[in-house]
Chain A
Amino acid sequence: MSLIQETLEPIQTSFEQPTYSSKDFQSNQDVRWCPGCGDYSILAQTQRIFPDFGVPKHNVVFVSGIGCSSRFPYYMNTYGFHSIHGRAPSIATGIKIARPELSVWVVTGDGDGMSIGGNHLIHTLRRNVNLKILLFNNQIYGLTKGQYSPTSEYGKVTKSTPLGSVDHPFNPLLLALGAEASFVARTLDRDTKHMQMILKRAHNFCGTTFIEIYQNCNVFNNGAFFQFTEKESKDDNVLLLEHGKPMVFGKEKNKGIKLDGFTPKVVSLDGTNSVNDLLVHNEKDSVLAFILANFNAMEGMPRPIGIFRAIERPTYEKDIERQIENAVVKEKGSFNNLIQSGQTWIIK
């Protein structure tokens, strides 16, 4: 019998439901973002919603790369790993494969995740490792003091583009959908309830979840998303996606989205069109998710927030576990058997 038998089983973790408050998730480290930064709200919503998950905090790991957002793990009183630029998805993948029972979260930014770490991000999404990825998109490099990022708009004037950027930006959600991410969502730093709801859905989803969070960098790119977050403008510019519900928006709830062939159009609900004519959101419809993610590039369309796509498929780490369990059931490995398999001979 092999030693390995008892010892390489997944480490047992306690399963009794802990009762936590948001305070339990606050570490003793001083939070060091600029005053007014959107990151504060994201941290607060995360700490607020985590007690609802019922996961023991010692089973939670936050992994980040480099950038303002990547300081996040220091402030969560869980296990944490502030790693190197762009590599958080890979570090998190290693953690999750080694220990599938852990709840592993990745915090990244538009520079970290879309630029230097773009390769790791897309491959993590296609593999469907059960990681929760939060991409703080502020469309600027904050930590290095204000260069344009891969999500900055064309023509953006920054320190490294004094005459305006000639870089065409990424649309993070289209990239994620293109990588066939199973769960793709967008939320806003200022919409606390919505963000909590999205985080909770992400937690409950089995598979990689990719959440783009519009985050205001009030120092280097103030107001980049104000039209979607501020009271005066948000209702007319934001479309709240709800599964099974028609796509209605506007301050007076008098506008909606209708499909004309494959082209989405804004219509007013003024008698010629009724709610019944509108597109109905469906998280299971990939084609629809692409259409919605493309609104960014279409003049006059509202910006959708919510869950664009949520379609479960087997996760990478569970598939690995399954192959292992099948192999172990067949024949549990023993070094002594292995080394003597094949041709051996004795010399006396």
Chain B
Amino acid sequence: MKELLQKEDITIRFAGDSGDGMQLTGMQFTSTTALLGNDLSTLPDYPAEIRAPAGTLFGVSGFQIHFGSTEIYTPGDVCDVLVAMNPAALKVNLNGLIDGGTIIANSDSFDDKNLSLASYNSNPLEDGSLSKYKLHVINISKLTSLTLSDTQLTSKEIDRCKNFFALGLMYWMYNRPLEPTIEWMQEKFKKTPKYVDANIKVLKAGFNYGDITEIFTVRYDVQPAKLEPGNYRSVTGNEAVALGLIAASEKSKLGLFLGSYPITPASDILHELSYYKNFRVKTFQAEDEIAAITSSIGASFAGALAITTTSGPGLALKGEALGLAVMTELPLVIINVQRGGPSTGLPTKTEQSDLLQSLYGRHGESPVCVIAAKTPSDCFYTVYEACRIATKFMVPVILLSDGYIANGSEPWNFPLIEDLSDININFRTEKDGFFPYLRDEKTLARPWAIPGTPNLEHRIGGLEKQQVTGNVSYDAQNHDYMVRLRQNKIEKIAEDIPLAEIDGKESGKLLLVSWGGTYGAAKTAVNNKRKENKYISHLHLKYINPFQKNVGEILKKFDKILVPELNLGQLSKVLKHTFFVNTISLTKVEGQPFKSIEIENKIDELLK
């Protein structure tokens, strides 16, 4: 019997060629781990090329999972285990491995060709360069083909199964059951039973390899986390957006319309919603980003819950139409899953560099509401909130997500429809006293009078509107009035949202302010510092335009304000000019989320 050691948390990185199935392997490990009741966070990290040339450094695809028996907020700063399916995967990921960490290397792929593709002069598995790690050299390809030698599969098909050997071995090492993955295989490959059999065989072979061979003497166990009681599932940010939209449609009783043009990393929302025909979701894959948003504006005019999804460059293309949505005061939700920019930039990597574009990147004075999601599951609540605000105030709302939370996943104590707040929609039907731009006193929203309603025929458009009548007006005073009114309307939203809640003391030396996907690293940094008795407070901002009413007050009670962002200090700038406070920016634009240690180091520096 081999020893079983308890661990509080573990980070594993699966890395290989983009054709090696690393994302799938990582996701399987994630589902199984979630089912065991661990808290977790994941980071898929893959190249922009769909089938990058095999063996190259830029073709490496990785999937990192951090799981534990305590609450987990990040995919892990460094990994404890690196599964490297080829030399390039080893090279690219080695600096993310903790000193003394474990390497599982598929020795079969460390041949001359692959070594030279990865720019290794000598074989690192043999030259002693990895001596500070626990190196396990396993001929995974060979063992896989031996396992399947009595099957009818071609050698190519056999080779494709090798990731499951690695997965099986990891299941053994971390004491996880095989059944969830076996069930998944039976479903996934049900049309080709020979694949089901082969994959199960290889998975078990990997598991047994750990059990039987002498190579491994210990295995580890990570106890379930003490999560809040409830019903759980795992969810990625993009899935959560799709689910949130379905919920908002059901709750508001509005038909859901999505106009979208494929763009990484937002396309999965389009894919997901395209399946939900039985929810009467209408998805329209437009000819370009412009048609994607303008069709949504049309659908909104017609009375749908109208959504458009995109990423940075797409948002730039939508800018003109957003101005139209501001002018016509129609509800619209624009979801921007941010990626590395400018231009095509780093399409599969994460960044938070569209904040200023979202706030200001339009012609004229065209304020919109901007809110940001902080974790994969928070995408659900944030998109739901975006729909509520858009329809209540008759405004466009930009929701900022990012590549990291969009593709990352976590366990989610999910709600049922009855747990969600109401979204009340009142289409105007009354003829008496109807004017297209007569406003609700409280929200300043204009009536939503949709085509098909008798006696409310009216015209809207991009030309300036006369207050109340909505007729075209070139009057100078009226324009001044309307510009301010549209600004006011956005500011009014602050009266409709909860006050900001600070984590920690209400005043002190240092306040950490985060927004969007930086939440996890910030929260972890704060928790770690508290363990060292360094007490700092944390404010996470979901609402960026408008800010919650008490944000200014909170900021002013701290000596120093640290704002970590995956850009060159965009929120920091906004806080400075909005609240006249000094902020200290911690910035990074490497296409990767913050490591909590990076924030911790900055905190230490500031507390010195």
Which A residues contact B (CB, under 8 angstroms)?
A: 2-4, 7-8, 11, 13-14, 27, 29, 56-61, 63, 66, 73-74, 77-84, 87, 90-99, 101-102, 119-120, 123, 320, 323-324, 326-328, 330-336, 338-340, 342-348
Q: Pick the contact of B414: A59, A74, A120, A339 (CB < 8 A).
A: A339
Contacting pair B295 A90 (CB below 8 A): yes
Give 7 closest A-B pairs by Cβ, nearest first. A94-B298, A82-B461, A94-B295, A333-B279, A80-B459, A327-B277, A91-B298
B415 contact set on A, CB distance < 8 A? 339
Contacting pair A344 B232 (CB below 8 A): yes
**How many angstroms from the CA of A338 to the CA of B291 in the assembled complex?**
30
B457 CB within 8 Å of chain A:
yes
**How many angstroms from the CA of A275 to the CA of B415 in the assembled complex?**
76
A82 to chain B, nearest CB (A): 3
B301 contact set on A, CB distance < 8 A? 81, 91, 94-95
Of the candidate stretches B68-76, B201-209, B249-257, the one touching chain A is: B249-257
Contacting pair B284 A97 (CB below 8 A): yes
Residue among A11, A92, A327, A335 with the highest chain B CB neighbour number at 10 A: A335
A59 contact set on B, CB distance < 8 A? 451-452
**How many angstroms from the CA of A120 to the CA of B288 in the assembled complex?**
8
Contacting pair B279 A63 (CB below 8 A): no
**How many angstroms from the CA of A56 to the CA of B453 in the assembled complex?**
10
Known: A332-B278, A345-B37, A346-B231. A94 touches B284 (CB 8 A): yes
Q: Mark B104-125, 1 if CB is under 8 A from A, else 0.
A: 0000000000000000000000
Which B residues contact A (CB, under 8 angstroms)?
A: 31, 34-35, 37, 180, 224, 227-234, 243, 246-247, 249-251, 253-255, 257, 259, 276-280, 282, 284, 286-288, 290-291, 294-304, 306, 320-321, 323-324, 328, 413-417, 450-463, 471-472
A82 contact set on B, CB distance < 8 A? 459-463
- Pick 19 A–B contacts, CB within 8 A, sort by A: A3-B417, A58-B452, A58-B453, A61-B451, A73-B459, A82-B461, A91-B298, A93-B295, A94-B284, A119-B287, A119-B291, A324-B278, A324-B282, A333-B279, A342-B233, A343-B34, A343-B233, A344-B414, A345-B233
Contacting pair A58 B455 (CB below 8 A): yes
**How many angstroms from the CA of A60 to the CA of B451 in the assembled complex?**
7
**How many angstroms from the CA of A44 to the CA of B300 in the assembled complex?**
30
A27 to chain B, nearest CB (A): 7
Contacting pair B298 A63 (CB below 8 A): yes
B246 contact set on A, CB distance < 8 A? 333, 335, 338
**Closest B residue to A346 using CB positions:** B231
Known: A3-B250, A94-B294. A347 touches B284 (CB 8 A): no
B302 contact set on A, CB distance < 8 A? 61, 94-95, 98-99, 102
A119 contact set on B, CB distance < 8 A? 287-288, 291
Q: Pick the contact of B457: A58, A92, A334 (CB < 8 A).
A: A58
B328 to chain A, nearest CB (A): 8
**How many angstroms from the CA of A126 to the CA of B210 in the assembled complex?**
58
Known: A335-B417, A347-B227. A57 touches B298 (CB 8 A): no
Known: A120-B287, A346-B231. A78 touches B295 (CB 8 A): no
Contacting pair A336 B37 (CB below 8 A): no
Kindly count the residue-residue contacts between A and B in the assembled complex, taking CB atoms under 8 Å apart. Answer: 226
Contacting pair A58 B297 (CB below 8 A): no
Q: Pick the contact of A333: B233, B276, B303 (CB < 8 A).
A: B276
A33 to chain B, nearest CB (A): 14
Q: 17 extra interchain contacts, Cβ-Cβ under 8 A, other than A98-B303, A338-B246, A345-B232?
A: A4-B249, A58-B454, A79-B459, A80-B458, A83-B297, A83-B461, A94-B302, A98-B302, A99-B302, A119-B288, A120-B290, A323-B277, A324-B278, A333-B278, A338-B279, A343-B180, A347-B230
Known: A14-B454, A346-B231. A123 touches B287 (CB 8 A): yes
Q: Pick the contact of A335: B247, B321, B324, B454 (CB < 8 A).
A: B247
B472 contact set on A, CB distance < 8 A? 29, 74
**Closest A residue to B253 using CB positions:** A7
Q: Is the interface of B mostly helix, strand, loop or mixed?
A: mixed
Known: A333-B276, A348-B229. A98 touches B257 (CB 8 A): yes
**How many angstroms from the CA of A188 to the CA of B559 in the assembled complex?**
74
Contacting pair A330 B459 (CB below 8 A): no
Contacting pair B298 A2 (CB below 8 A): no
Known: A80-B459, A87-B321, A335-B247. A97 touches B299 (CB 8 A): yes
A96 contact set on B, CB distance < 8 A? 298
**Closest B residue to A58 using CB positions:** B454
**How many angstroms from the CA of A332 to the CA of B457 in the assembled complex?**
34
A326 contact set on B, CB distance < 8 A? 277
Contacting pair A95 B299 (CB below 8 A): yes
Known: A73-B461, A330-B278. A98 touches B298 (CB 8 A): yes
A81 contact set on B, CB distance < 8 A? 298, 301, 328, 459-461
**Closest A residue to B413 using CB positions:** A347
Contacting pair B257 A97 (CB below 8 A): yes
**Closest A residue to B277 using CB positions:** A327
Contacting pair B278 A83 (CB below 8 A): no
Contacting pair B37 A90 (CB below 8 A): no
Known: A58-B457, A82-B459, A84-B320. A98 touches B255 (CB 8 A): yes
**How many angstroms from the CA of A132 to the CA of B463 in the assembled complex?**
24
B251 contact set on A, CB distance < 8 A? 3
**Closest A residue to B286 using CB positions:** A90
**How many angstroms from the CA of A63 to the CA of B462 in the assembled complex?**
12
**How many angstroms from the CA of A342 to the CA of B35 in the assembled complex?**
12
Known: A90-B286, A94-B306, A328-B278. A84 touches B324 (CB 8 A): yes
Q: Pick the contact of B462: A3, A80, A83, A102 (CB < 8 A).
A: A83
A109 to chain B, nearest CB (A): 16
B239 to chain A, nearest CB (A): 10
**How many angstroms from the CA of A63 to the CA of B301 in the assembled complex?**
11
Known: A97-B282, A97-B295. A346 touches B462 (CB 8 A): no
Known: A79-B451, A79-B457, A347-B230. A8 touches B291 (CB 8 A): no
Known: A98-B298, A123-B287. A336 touches B416 (CB 8 A): yes
